[in-house]
Structure 1
Amino acid sequence: MVTEPRQLPRGLAPLADESLPGYVLRLAHRLGTAPGDIATRTGLSQRPAGLLPLGFLHAVGADTAQVFAQVTRLTPDEVSGLGLASLSPRYGPLDLTHTSAKVTRSVINNNPWAYFRSTRYCPHCLAGDGSEIQQRHGGPWQRLWRLPVVFACLKHRCFLRHRCPACDQLVQFTARTRSLIPRPGDGSLHPAQCRSNAGSARSAQPPACGYSLDGPLPDRSGPLDDQSRDELLRVQRRLVTLLTAPDRDTTHSIGTPVSISHYFMDLRTLMVLIFASWPTGRTYAATLSLASALDTEAERRHKAYRDLQAKPGKRHHSRAYSAPPDDAVVTGAVLGIAETLLGIQNHDAATKRLFPLVFQSINRDPAASYYLRAMRRGTSSALQAALHVDRRKGSLRAHARAGGSRTT
């Protein structure tokens, strides 16, 4: 005889754009239990201590989703809305059609362009909207914070953070346990508290950091002028609109209509090329402050690239350029340049503007440049055409002498 799953004594309505781990944290807090207990009782976990599989951040399997919906009193659409999969038609790095294998794990593993093992956050959003339910259990851990292209909170006009101010660890970092929720057996923490281990790594049961991430904190973005801040918020507003506008499926890349999914893949490819060729694209930075922020980040990446080159064996040194930035200001600054370049309406003009970046990246490492440009699945045909150059450096230098040198 099959026993029907028992509903929880109390439910909880998901908040706007709430992620699955965030919902489980708030539901556990409302019921006075550990998030691992909720994961087990709702069918999300069959693993020890209620570990929540990383893949469930993307989507919950149909059978598991049905049990979860029944136990929590949610609708199928509400359960689906807790995962990232519903964003994949717009955000290319989550789209299985852009991967070499048509399985979800290829989106989760070795994909730094979606945060499956940590998250950014806005302290003001975590503090809640003042309603009674959010005063008790906090505001939402949002799905969009898991996307590297989301770096600012438009509601509170602040830049997202990615580390705990107290322990300096990545927030909700889960590399060791491969569970979406760190310390799933700990029911003593508020959903907005840091769940990182505060004790020594040698300790058998280190205590939690416990820092309240929803408290007012000083802005650590540095001496950013108002013009730079406003520019980054404009960039973020445009990108969030592309991710969320229900009545918009296409945009333009280099004067060509493309799907929004392809546009975000184009942004990713150009961000990588900008770092690999820096400081060649410095003149495209919106302000001197943003150019300076990118100077620091690019130098760090160049050093990481050289260090990887010096190591024996299989080095994957292109990863020094292909990973998205952690810092919110740096992210917005490089996205702003990528948007500017994709906004060029004429193909010939775009090719001329992009040529110096391509040329510099080839001078740095021809093989890595070719991989970063030609092997990026999902980029639009318009960008692929603009980035197409002969791999032979001699012909590129001839092109440069003929008038294809850097433009400003």
Structure 2
Amino acid sequence: MLPSPTPLPRSLIPLPGESLPGLLLRISHRLHQSPGEIARRTGLAAKVTHIPGRHLLMLEPPDLAAFSAATRLPKASKPVRGPWQLQWRLAAVFACTTHNVFLHHLCPRCHQPVHGSTASRRQLIPFSNIGGLHPAQCRNPDPHGGLCGAWLNESTTVVRPQPSPQILALQQSVLRLLGTDDVTEPTNTAFSDLQVIAALVTATWPAAATVTPEGELATAFTEYAARRDDRAAGSADTIPQWTNVPGSPTAAAALIDTSNRLLRLPGPALTQALTCFSTRHHRRHLDGARPGPRCGPTAHPHSRSM
């Protein structure tokens, strides 16, 4: 049973686009308490060591009422441009269209997914019982039993690819669909079609690698696919992870761009391309077999694309 919420002595107003974890991190830093303690006092968690990850998707009316009362926010207010934006959690978001750069997903010091350690993926904030960190510091564990603490907002010397104008335009299109209140069939169909094609592209990669002209991004997805296959070879889980979008923003951009270009093909050409990918993939996994002719469709305008 969750404890009754306790009004906080001070609070903060959610910034535009801010996620709930981002708001909790900012409040905890201001009040010099752990994020877990803030969550417990605001009715979001029973224990300071675990904030349920389901809160990222939605706050149920009782949870929202308790949180609003404890933080002195208007009841209609939703923790929604802050340090940690909600849209960055979405698989289809891979670039910042304000600064025209790819998002970063790895800590520059520990080189692990930011706030994504295996032990904390079902929690809203990893190691929520530990305070003293700024919202922009890494909360991944370090080898010495503490937390990494690296500053995630500092520039690094790592050379990163820059998104092309076409990739930025694609991201803008995705963001427009994500930001619309239109729940009609065309909007839903656009994402459903993209998800299905992305799964087929993933399952048959690298057969579709020539579809996108973004060679550097295609290479990033090829590297991701190789790591995925290596993990699958050593795992007892026999279910293919074809519907998983890569955590790497550049690999995700390659997948979404390739899938979107395929969706711009007329129906018969799309069917032919997918059949070709499947055939090449099958031949590639037969010992001694050559992959066969290259599949290289040319995209045409189509209403189903982004």
Match of 1:315 among 234, 238, 244: 238
The equivalent residue for 1:184 is 128
Tell me which protein shows more helix as a share of its residues.
Answer: 1
User: Which residue of the partner structure matches residue 196 of structure 2?
Assistant: 269
Match of 2:175 among 240, 264, 283: 240
Structure 1 residues 352 and 34: CA distance shift in structure 2, 3 A? same
Contact 2:49/2:127 (CA < 8 Å) preserved in 1?
Answer: no
> Which residue of structure 1 lines up, in the alignment, with residue 301 of structure 2?
none
Q: Does 1:157 pair with 2:100?
A: yes
Q: Which residue of 1 aligns with 2:46?
A: 46
Give the CA deviation at 1:174: 5.1
The alignment's TM-score, normalised by the length of structure 1, stands at 0.63
- Structure 2 stretches lacking a partner, 5+ long: 286-293, 298-306
Q: Structure 1: how far apart are the matches of 2:212 and 2:296?
A: 14
1:153-206 deviations in whole A, cap 9, x for unaligned? 111111111111111222112542543112222221111111112234xxxxx2
1:115-264 equivalences under 5 Å are 139-173=82-116, 175-177=118-120, 178-200=122-144, 206-221=145-160, 224=161, 229-246=164-181, 248-249=182-183, 258-264=185-191
> Per-residue CA shift, 1:279-327, capped at 9, x if unaligned?
322331123333433443344445555x26xx7x6622x12x3321122
1:183 partner letter: F
Amino acid at match of 2:96: C
Q: Is the aligned partner of 1:290 residue 2:217?
A: yes
Cα distance in 1 between the residues matched to 2:49 and 2:96 = 31
CA distance in 1 between counterparts of 2:284 and 2:75 reads 50
Sequence identity percentage: 33
Aligned equivalents of 2:174, 2:207: Cα separation in 1:
25
The alpha carbon displacement at 1:37 in A equals 1.4
1:16 is displaced (CA, Å) by 1.2
How far does the alpha carbon of each residue in 1:126-148 deviate from its partner, in whole angstroms, 9 at most, with x for none? xxxxxxxxxxxxx4311111111
The aligned residue for residue 73 of structure 1 is: 72
The one-letter code matched in structure 1 to 2:171 is: Q
Which residue identity is paired with 1:286?
P
The 3 A distance-change label for structure 1 pair 322 and 40 is same
Deviations 1:73-126 (A, max 9, x none): 1223323x54xxxxxxxxxxxxxxxxxxxxxxxxxxxxxxxxxxxxxxxxxx8x
Match of 2:9 in 1: 9
Aligned partner letter, 1:145: W
Q: Per the alignment, do residues 184 and 289 of structure 1 end up closer, same or farther by CA in structure 2, a change over 3 Å counting?
A: closer
Q: Judging changes above 3 Å, is the alpha-carbon distance between structure 1 residues 343 and 211 closer, same or farther for their aligned structure 2 residues?
A: same
The alpha-carbon distance between structure 1 residues 169 and 280, as it changes in their structure 2 partners (threshold 3 A), is closer
CA RMSD of the aligned region, Å? 2.8
Q: Structure 1 residues 363, 260: closer, same or farther in 2, change over 3 A?
A: farther
Q: Secondary structure at the match of 1:172?
A: coil
The offset of 1:277, in angstroms, is: 1.7
CA positional deviation for 1:19? 1.0
Q: Which of 359, 365, 385 is the matching residue for 2:279?
A: 359
Q: Mean alpha-carbon deviation: is it higher for 183-192 or for 283-292?
A: 283-292
